[in-house]
Amino acid sequence: MITMNEQGNLVYHGDTFQIVLQRYSDPERLNAARNAAIYLGKKDRGNVRRPLSIIRQGHVPEVFRGEFAEFEFVDVSKEVYDHIITYTTRNMRVAGGNRALTSDDFAMPDDKMKNPDLVHEMIQQSLDNYQKLLEIGETPQVSRSAMPVNAKINPFVYQFNFVTLMQSLFKQRIWEKGAQGNTVKVVQGMWELVNQVDPDLWQTAYEWFGQPATDWTEVRRKIKKKCVDVTTILEMLEEDLMSVGENIDSGTPFEDWLVSKFGEQKSMW
C-alpha cells in the first residue's frame, strides 16, 4: 500500500517495513525530454514522450543517468541493506550502521521454511545474545558480531540514478529470479513508488529491461543451445494446436508461444 505522509512524500507500507520516497528529480520528465532533444538534435525540447521512444528503440537511456530517486528505508533488515549496497553506481548512501547504533528487532525470512517456529526461536536467541552483550557493557561494534543477519537496522537512505534502477537494481532483484525473499519485497516496494510517480516511464523500463526482455533473452539462448530449426518449430506448433489440453489456438501471439516453450527462467541458486 502507498500513502502520502505529512511532508508530501510517498510512503510504501510493506508487511514489516516502510520505504519513503524522499526525492524524485524529474516527475514530469522535462529534464529527460530536454536532454533527449539535444541528443537527437531536435528543437522541441518539451516532448516528454521522446525519452520513452529512446528506450523502445533499444538505445542506451543515457538521458536518464542524471535523474535520481532517493529512498529512506525504515525497519529493513541488515540482510536487505547488504543486498542493495552491492550497487556501487548508487549516487549516495547514508547509514549509521551497527558500529554505533543498536538493533532491537528482526525480520523473519520470506523464503520457504520447513519449521518457521524453530527458525523464529533460533533468530530470537541470536538477538538475545547480542542484546546481552550490550547489557554487560560491550560496545555496539563488538556486540554486533552476535547480531542475527536479519536484525532490523536503523533508518538508512540510498539514492540511485534512473539508469542504475532500470538496468541493474530492479533487473537483478525483482525482474530476474534468484534474489532472496525479503530483498524482493523491499525492492518491489521501491519499484511501486517510482511507478506511482511516472507509470509511463517505469512500465516502459519494465517492458525493455524487465521480465519480458529477460524471457526473450532466455528464448534465444535455449533455441541457440538446442539448435532448434524451422521444422522442429512447425512440428511443435502442430502438436500443440492438435492437443486438447494446450492453451493455444491460431490467434495466440507467436512471441507468447515461444516464451511458454523456451522462456522459463531458472535461478542458479
Each residue's pLDDT tens digit, 239-262: 888 886 667 777 888 888 888 888
Counting other chains too, the contacts that 193-201 makes at CB distance below 8 Å and 24 or more residues apart are 193/2, 193/10, 193/12, 193/19, 193/21, 193/69, 193/71, 194/21, 194/24, 194/69, 194/165, 196/2, 196/10, 197/10, 197/21, 197/24, 197/27, 198/27, 198/29, 200/52, 201/29, 201/51, 201/52, 201/162
Candidate ranges 79-83, 198-202, 223-227; pick with highest mean pLDDT: 198-202
Q: Are residues 127 and 251 in the same domain?
A: no
Task: Please report the pLDDT score of residue 89 as a whole number.
Answer: 66
Average pLDDT over residues 168-189: 90
Average pLDDT over residues 32-39: 94
pLDDT at 87 over 70: no
Q: Is residue 141 part of a domain?
A: yes
Task: Please report the pLDDT score of residue 104 as a whole number.
Answer: 85
Q: Is residue 102 part of a domain?
A: no
Domain that holds residue 29: 2-97+153-209
| Portion of the chain with pLDDT greater than 90, in percent | 57
Task: Please report the pLDDT score of residue 85 as a whole number.
Answer: 78
| Portion of the chain with pLDDT greater than 70, in percent | 94
pLDDT class for 267, splitting at 50, 70, 90? low
- Model confidence over 131-166: pLDDT tens digits? 999 999 999 889 888 888 889 888 999 999 999 999
Q: Is residue 268 part of a domain?
A: no
Average pLDDT over residues 192-203: 98
Q: Is residue 91 part of a domain?
A: yes
Q: Is residue 269 part of a domain?
A: no
Q: Are residues 257 and 239 in the same domain?
A: yes
